[in-house]
Amino acid sequence: MSLSANPKSFAYPVLVADIGGTNARFALVDNTDAPTRMCGKTATADHPDISSAIRTAVFPETDIKPRTAIIAVAGPVTGDIIPLTNAAWVIEPLKMIAGLGLEEVIVLNDFEAQALALPGYGGGDIEQVGTGTARQASAKFVLGPGTGLGAAAMIYASETWVPVPGEGGHVELGPVTPEDFELWPHIERYHGRVGAEQLLSGTGLPRLARAVTSYMKAERQFDTPASITMAADDNDPVAVKILEVFARGLGRVAGDFALTVLARGGVYLTGGITPRITRFLTDGGFRAAFEAKAPHEALMAKIPTFIVRHPDPALEGLASFARAPDAFAVDMQGRQWVGAASVA
Ligand SMILES: Nc1ncnc2c1ncn2[C@@H]1O[C@H](COP(=O)(O)OP(=O)(O)OP(=O)(O)O)[C@@H](O)[C@H]1O
């Protein structure tokens, strides 16, 4: 059964799960005040389905079985059968309710989950890049180059945080500097266009590498993102140029999103690529591109940008929601399933 109402409390313990293309991560939230109990990660390929992974990774960790599950998946939540974008699992909430004894299952988008973590970050969770100060109770944005380029806004309205997921990773990426104009003709078009994710992601990096290699008339073959970051660590000039262009592009897109929602609460970078290119995010190019938004340079200089250092941003966001559902307005339509026992 699918409901549209937003619950203002959950039955505890709540199991939170971040299901990625490669790994599934689980944690338990025992009540509104309890710290998050991490249950470790497991390779999705090691289990036939999510229920089997939960039985193996979570049930041995708790005397009281979870009554609610809140799950983040990469990709859209469409109906009662939810295939994953990059893994063989199919999430079937009604089967999970029946098979695991759950009362309720909620399935959210993975970057919506990452947005839910933003208001709670502090201390070592984040590292600032450049100037600016995060304003309290103001919009935030999370942008994450991983396998793809994930994006979500976090809006503050009526004393409530409202996560806004979307397909922002597919916005257009155009040339700006004279070097860009020389480089752009070397970029392979995807259906006639250059979307941000086509360059600024793990799958995009080899395409960007081919363009930069051709533009520099160099002899290189970079087939994986790791081969590029490793070569850049050895100061290979082509790999360095690729990551400089990457960081500049990411700054530009991050700046566009900051302008779009006036993200005075900051723009936060996550994703598997980010920690591997820190040097290129902090050398000035990223931040300069972020701020170069005439006529709004002065405004942009005040908006802070951060690298997220928290190891499990999506899980952290789901745990925040599990602890304090009242603090967030999460759209539940078509994404919440309850068992017969819970129907009043
Ligand atoms: N050393 C590295 N340097 C650069 N990129 C890397 C390196 N190792 C892995 N990557 C890239 O990071 C990307 C994966 O990022 P991320 O972990 O955010 O993806 P995901 O799909 O969200 O995660 P999951 O593995 O949980 O499904 C892949 O494109 C991978 O090639």
State the pLDDT at residue 180.
97
Answer yes or no: are the C-beta atoms of 4 and 333 closer than 8 Å: yes
Q: Are 205 and 177 in contact (CB under 8 A)?
A: no
How far, in Å, from the CA of 86 to the mean position of ligand 1? 12
- Structural domain spans, the chain: 14-110+313-342, 122-308
pLDDT at 295: 98
**Binding pocket residue ranges, ligand 1, CB within 6 Å:** 20-23, 86, 146-147, 202, 224-226, 229, 271-273, 276
CA of 23 from ligand 1 middle (Å) equals 11
Phi, psi of 7 (to 5 degrees): -75, 150
CA gap 176, 183 in Å, rounded = 11
Q: Which atom of ligand 1 is nearest to the CA of 203?
A: 29
Query: According to the model, what pLDDT value does residue 192 have?
Result: 94
Residue of 19, 224, 278, 310 to mutate, ligand 1, most atoms within 8 A of C-beta: 224
Four-point Cα dihedral 262, 267, 271, 277, nearest 10? 130
Model pLDDT, residue 286: 98
For residue 75, the model assigns a pLDDT of 81
Does residue 269 contact residue 310 with C-beta atoms inside 8 Å? no
Look up the CATH number of domain 122-308: 3.40.367.20
Q: What is the pLDDT of residue 121?
A: 97
pLDDT of residue 274: 98
Tell me what ipTM this predicted complex has. Answer: 0.94
In our burial notation (b when 16+ CB lie closer than 10 A, e otherwise), range 106-119 reads bbbbbbbbbbbbbb
Q: Ligand 1 mean position to 14 CA, how many Å?
A: 28
Output the six-digit token pair for 310: 């928290």
CATH class, domain 14-110+313-342, is alpha beta
- Model pLDDT, residue 343: 45
Residue ranges of the chain with per-residue pLDDT less than 70: 1-7, 341-344
Q: What is the pLDDT of residue 6?
A: 56
Per-residue pLDDT tens over the stretch 300-328: 999 999 999 999 999 999 999 999 999 99
For the CA of 87, the nearest atom of ligand 1: 27
158: amino acid identity, one letter = S
